[in-house]
Chain A
């Protein structure tokens, strides 16, 4: 057989995805995006560029946003992986970010949406009172061709307010 077609040894690993333990057989070079989509059923993890330049594949690995398209799956064994499918609580309630994306019409085609939600989540977990510029910076690596980002920024700011639940704090005045 041609050496190039020789399959490298596969390995059975356990991944912790959205609080579930999932056993998957992976080749060492497999990327997290493929493993999440194919072996873990997480098709919400989108692939828009396969080169770390669109943000569609953003997931959280131990609470840090990572681009699944350039992350080897083998690197995240033992880590907590969160996708957009983890956002809804077990009793079926939507996360404040999901509510805000719906309410503010921040979703058009929806292809960037899971990545945007995860970038937004990473921001809000670290900074519960972001300014508009901080929101824009946090999603600057997530491309959206449909919305002009207007309502996505608005929705993340609104979710911050809901989550912060600081009654004295008004929604920051949006320029747009």
Chain B
């Protein structure tokens, strides 16, 4: 891989843009198969109840109904690493909207009609909606049978006989001594609300179980292998019998990672004699039953020296996981250890509690805990700066991690791009100039890890015309992975960009990959593809050397051809080397590559120690400038500056697209979004009219800055980018509001009403 780069670092036309503007891109709900049935789900109207009886008879009588299933037909549980969630509620419902039964019928009207006729006798139980209440001893238990669930004990520690499914502990240095040494101590509590992922495509899946025993799911699933694996364990099947194919995905943001709409569809497909079943969720179902970014409360206490040095911190974090675990245990771990922020703090004590409540299940959300945590630690940081009368950028710069520093878990990360990122952000914000009158502004810094250990693999196969097919299980959901993976394969194989075809996301065809999540794909899948392309390139060189009768060392591969270095008139094209047709002199070319970041380690669940718990970190610095109308409490955002250490920018426009979209989600969730439940646990705003998401008129200009501090193990030095842009916006807005009008809002979203209350213009909220 010597010589100038041809494809990396450019922004070619996105490989899937044409199909999308033509309206031809196929999403799961667009799929139609012969003899396909349509499914509908009957859901719990209660937050917590035991199921006395389910009467399916009326549903079965509806004309066109072909299958009706309930929990006793599919007594399986899923979720990694804690198998607590049934396909359909078995003997108890734990949130309003939980699937209780499902129907497959010849048309959707019949399926819906039948689902509405399913009669369930419930015996209501006391519900717990507030995680702080749910943690108390004596609170009603959601899962009295918790100990019977399989769980991976190496990953997390529950508190027995409680609703706390995971208690994460991290102890570093000597916290008492640290506080004793501090000149000042600051304390604060910060709350992030529950909100929906807001992907515009509602979840959809088509499931088919062939009579020979093979199951196929065409599903809007971010992580096809992860889902197949979870399903296989639940059913007790080998994974190869479950094929997950992902068509285009209409936005994921975490909502489509892991089993979501699939379990009821699978339950039906097991009962329809081989007929495929399509299940398309309504927007209301997406809001009430297909995952949520859960609420989080963070209590921080930090000891600082008068000069601004952070010396000690305790953090207590409560994660509301809802009725089932999903990602809860890992979210609690990764989020809680992130409460340090991107800073050097020698003495720390962190306790994270992941708690069951009778609410829709918390699922992964873009930035996985860091958004909630950075709202706390970066709000807190500005309060510290204010208390010490220091410049907020200066105090950050002084405490930012640098190469050689140790993180909370005891890791010494490499290639830490925080300082240059902060410098670039501050200079774009013109921080050294006085701010415009009436405005408030702020800059925050964040660090986010990526899931580890986690493997990816890829095959690259040469076609008859010398073009390359790249098999890759990373799913395209708008983040541009198809284009970037194509670039990486082309660069590493020596092919032209247009000669590389990405074959994406079909577990029967594309080899294993952990997930499309955690900003991991560019780094992990990228490396796997670079290795596979390197392997293919070796084979190409061998054959070219034979054909051209030149030793390999004299050959160069570029532009889908192999050249004799000293005589560029002598070359052979990839097409001449393609050993596909019968009678060809050469055998087929198939490169393979797999990648797991070296030396990544597990956590010690007792101490929270982990020497290398992530392959890389996303470093981000984000600035916001805004104005607050003191009479109405309305916030007007004037600009966002978002600076990110990409390691190396593989595709500038794709990175900017991720930044703009991620920052926009940050703005929307900081200002507007809030999933509201009534006292009985029913969602009050399960639609886009009552649940406000930012429109084209709400988003300010967003300036992207890409900083390159090459990561030694990244493909061409690159790291992920996807989650960085959502991490810091909420804290930046809260800090800029205080800068503008002198009041601090510590619970999200930051609404006009909260601002007016803080200004004393409205009476305080009644709890």
In this assembly, does A83 line the interface, its C-beta being within 8 Å of a C-beta of chain B? yes
The distance in angstroms between the C-alpha atoms of A107 and B15, with both chains bound, is: 11
Whether the pair B702, A176 counts as a contact (CB closer than 8 A) is yes
Instruction: For the complex formed, measure the closest distance between the CB of A141 and the CB atoms of chain B, giving whole angstroms.
Output: 8
Instruction: For the complex formed, measure the closest distance between the CB of A153 and the CB atoms of chain B, giving whole angstroms.
Output: 6
Whether the pair B697, A5 counts as a contact (CB closer than 8 A) is no
Segment of A71-79, A110-118, A163-171 engaged in the interface with chain B = A110-118
Segment of B19-27, B178-186, B521-529, B611-619 engaged in the interface with chain A = B19-27
Q: Using a Cβ–Cβ cut-off of 8 Å, how many residues does chain A contribute to the interface with B?
A: 57
Whether the pair B702, A150 counts as a contact (CB closer than 8 A) is yes
Tally of contacts, chain A with chain B, CB under 8 A: 174
Whether the pair B63, A108 counts as a contact (CB closer than 8 A) is no
Segment of B43-51, B339-347, B403-411, B685-693 engaged in the interface with chain A = B685-693
Segment of B413-421, B433-441, B552-560, B659-667 engaged in the interface with chain A = B659-667
Given contacts A44-B24, A85-B23, A110-B16, contact A146 B61 (CB under 8 A): no
Residues of chain B lying within 8 A (CB to CB) of residue A5: 62-63, 110, 113
Residues of chain A lying within 8 A (CB to CB) of residue B23: 42-44, 83-85, 113-114
The distance in angstroms between the C-alpha atoms of A84 and B703, with both chains bound, is: 31
In this assembly, does A102 line the interface, its C-beta being within 8 Å of a C-beta of chain B? yes
The distance in angstroms between the C-alpha atoms of A143 and B26, with both chains bound, is: 20
Residues of chain B lying within 8 A (CB to CB) of residue A12: none
The distance in angstroms between the C-alpha atoms of A48 and B281, with both chains bound, is: 10
Q: Using a Cβ–Cβ cut-off of 8 Å, how many residues does chain B contribute to the interface with A?
A: 60
Whether the pair A51, B689 counts as a contact (CB closer than 8 A) is yes
Segment of B313-321, B477-485, B742-750 engaged in the interface with chain A = B477-485
The distance in angstroms between the C-alpha atoms of A50 and B22, with both chains bound, is: 22
Whether the pair A53, B699 counts as a contact (CB closer than 8 A) is no
In this assembly, does A161 line the interface, its C-beta being within 8 Å of a C-beta of chain B? no
Whether the pair B200, A144 counts as a contact (CB closer than 8 A) is yes
In this assembly, does B634 line the interface, its C-beta being within 8 Å of a C-beta of chain A? no
Whether the pair B200, A48 counts as a contact (CB closer than 8 A) is yes
In this assembly, does B291 line the interface, its C-beta being within 8 Å of a C-beta of chain A? no
Given contacts A53-B688, A54-B200, A140-B695, contact A107 B14 (CB under 8 A): yes
Whether the pair B687, A107 counts as a contact (CB closer than 8 A) is no
In this assembly, does B173 line the interface, its C-beta being within 8 Å of a C-beta of chain A? no
Specify the chain B residue showing the minimal Cβ separation from A144.
B200
Residues of chain B lying within 8 A (CB to CB) of residue A46: 27, 200-201, 250
Whether the pair A108, B61 counts as a contact (CB closer than 8 A) is no
The distance in angstroms between the C-alpha atoms of A111 and B29, with both chains bound, is: 11
Whether the pair B251, A109 counts as a contact (CB closer than 8 A) is yes
Instruction: For the complex formed, measure the closest distance between the CB of A35 and the CB atoms of chain B, giving whole angstroms.
Output: 13
Chain B residues 379 to 430 lying within 8 A of chain A, measured CB to CB, are none
- B interface residues, Cβ below 8 angstroms from A: 11, 13-14, 16-27, 29-30, 61-63, 110, 113, 197-202, 248-251, 253, 282-283, 477-480, 653-654, 657, 660-665, 687-689, 693, 695-697, 699-703
- 5 A-B pairs whose Cβ atoms sit less than 8 Å apart in the complex: A98-B22, A109-B478, A111-B250, A140-B696, A149-B696
